[in-house]
A = this chain, B = another copy of it.
């Protein structure tokens, strides 16, 4: 049985450089598909194009950037890809995600192959210290008075560290959150899924301002650093600088063997809830 993630990010080649996809409402936050899910679908199209062009030589997305132009909607999607350069170690490719004739997301990515790179390793970041998932917290509904969970919650395992303050209405004042992430249907994470997980957690800035704001992403860059082992990912997200309503958010994803598998940074905009 294919996983929900694989089914819902599937792409079908139409004409040269074009792929058809369909955004499932199952990955919505409110009535819009989650930005990480949208990016993962674009990454799938770029991966498929590269697979054909390079016979699988460049199968891991090393660095992926997306600029979010307009919100997406559930339903049909046209993804245009442009293969920019294929080198020996890396290949660069672009994707444009359109719906109803309007471009929604522009993405630029460089792929490589973790089997093909060698060199020294010195990791100084450390994984978050998380208690077991069953004592961590579920994400509560978004916004005051709202009781329904976003659809995406049914597709994902997200368990926040039990000290996460905003969940119980007491933001810590320190814009850092951590917790577990995975697919609800048990699909193992891989390098194609990491761009989704880099944008699937509740915003760290909720620890400053409670969950009263909408925080749309302007730009998201994900560096995939290794292929994850099966199991839940341990994650940490932090906002360091909120300036005039614009904010950065840095993320780290660690696999079940304690290996750093992705680093992310986004620029987002704070918009007060209506």
Q: Nearest chain B CB to A265's CB is how many angstroms away? A: 5
| Cβ B208 vs Cβ A246 within 8 A | no
A52 at interface, CB cutoff 8 A: no
| Cβ A243 vs Cβ B260 within 8 A | yes
| Complex Cα spacing A208 to B219, Å | 31
A interface secondary structure, majority: strand
- Residues of chain B lying within 8 A (CB to CB) of residue A263: 240-241, 248, 265
| Cβ A241 vs Cβ B260 within 8 A | yes
- Residues of chain B lying within 8 A (CB to CB) of residue A170: none
| Cβ B108 vs Cβ A63 within 8 A | no
A136 at interface, CB cutoff 8 A: no
| Cβ A218 vs Cβ B122 within 8 A | no
- Residues of chain B lying within 8 A (CB to CB) of residue A226: 243
A10 at interface, CB cutoff 8 A: no
| Contact with A124, one of B240, B246, B267 (Cβ below 8 angstroms) | B240
Q: Nearest chain B CB to A149's CB is how many angstroms away? A: 27
Q: Of the 9-residue stretches A84-92, A157-165, A184-192, which lies at the interface with chain B?
A: A84-92
| Complex Cα spacing A120 to B92, Å | 37
A144 at interface, CB cutoff 8 A: no
Indicate whether A242 sits within 8 Å of B67 (C-beta atoms), given known contacts A84-B106, A223-B267, A248-B223: no
Write the A221-237 contact mask toward B (1 if CB under 8 angstroms, else 0): 10101100000000000
Closest 3 CB pairs of A and B: A119-B245, A63-B219, A65-B65
